[in-house]
Structure 1
C-alpha cells in the first residue's frame, strides 16, 4: 500500500495517451494486479515494484530514493525494467527487445504484465494521434519484447497473446486508415 501511495503521488498529474486520458495510476494498478495474480500473491516486493515500475522513467525519482523507501529488492526490480531516458526512443525500444531474455525471472513477470496492460489499453482506448501503422508497429514491437520473456509465466503469456489479438482487432477497427506514421 505504501508503494501505491508513493506511485499515486508521483504520477498524480500523468495521464494515459488514449482518448479518455485515464489517470496513469490505473495502469500501475493493473500491472500490479497482473503480477499479484501471476505470483499467487506471494511476492509483495514484486507487486510493489509493479506499482513503481515507471516512476524513475517518468517522474525523476531516483533508484536511491526507491531503495531508501522500499528496500534493495524493490529498487533492483524497478531498475531492471527501467529504460534509460537519455537514449532516443527507437534505441530504448531496441534495447528492451535485446535485454528481455536477460532479465531475472521476476523482472520478466513484471515486464510481461506491463506489456499485457499496455496492449489492453491500446485495445480499449487507443491514442487518437496514432496512425494504423504506428499502432500495428507497437503491437509487433511488444510481441518482440515478449518473445524474449518466454517461459516466465505461462498464464501471463496467454493473457498477453489475448491482449495482442484484441489490440490488433481494435486498431483495425478504430485507427484512421488515412493517416501516416
Structure 2
C-alpha cells in the first residue's frame, strides 16, 4: 500500500490538474507550489499527516474536492489540518481586509501543525508575489505581517524564515 504522502500528492496533483490550474504570475502548473510547500514542511518535520496536508492545503479552496473527500481518503487528522488551512471567507463577507481578518482568525484556531504548513505556504507565495507583482506585494506583505502574529507556535525555523522575508520586504519597501 502506498504511503499517505504519496497518495496525498497524487490526489492533490490530479485535482489541480483537472482544472488546469496554473500559478498566477509564472504560468507554471499549480502543482509546483504544492510541491514547494510540501518540501518546506518535510525539511523541518517527518510527520506524514503534515506533509500530506501540505500537498492538499489548497485543494478544498481551489477545486471541487470537499473536506468530506479529504477525510474519506486521508482520515480525520489530515482533514483537520486541511480544514484550518482552507480560507473560509467569501466575497459577500466584505472587503479584502475584512475577508483576510476572518481567514486569519480561522487559521489561528488550528494547532501548531497547521501554523507550520501555513508558514511554508507564506514563504513560497511571498517569493513569487514579490518577484512578479511588487504593487500587490505592498498589500500582501502587510497581510502576512498580521498573519505571523497568529502563527507563533509554528515550527521555529519556518517562523524565522517567514518573519525575515516579511520584515526585509517591508523595510526595503519603506526605505527603513
Range class of TM-score, shorter chain: 0.7 to 0.9
Larger RCO (CA under 8 A, 6+ residues apart): 1
Q: Which of 143, 146, 156 is 1:144 aligned to?
A: 146
1:84 positional shift: 2.0
1:30 matches 2:36: yes
1:5 matches 2:7: no
Q: What stretches of structure 2 of length at least 5 have no aligned partner? A: 1-5
TM-score by length of 2: 0.83
Q: Which of 153, 156, 162 is 1:154 aligned to?
A: 156
1:111 positional shift: 1.1
1:105 positional shift: 1.2
Cα 1:8–1:171 change in 2 (3 A) is farther
1:58 aligned residue:
62
Q: How far apart are the structure 2 equivalents of 1:135 and 1:169?
A: 13
TM-score by length of 1: 0.80
Q: What stretches of structure 1 of length at least 5 have no aligned partner? A: 173-181
Q: Secondary structure at the match of 2:27?
A: coil
Q: Secondary structure at the match of 1:11?
A: helix
After TM superposition, which residue ranges in structure 1, 4 or more long, deviate above 4 angstroms?
165-172
Cα 1:57–1:81 change in 2 (3 A) is same
1:176 aligned residue:
none
Matches within 5 A, 1:158-169: 158-164=160-166
Q: How far apart are the structure 2 equivalents of 1:15 and 1:170?
A: 29
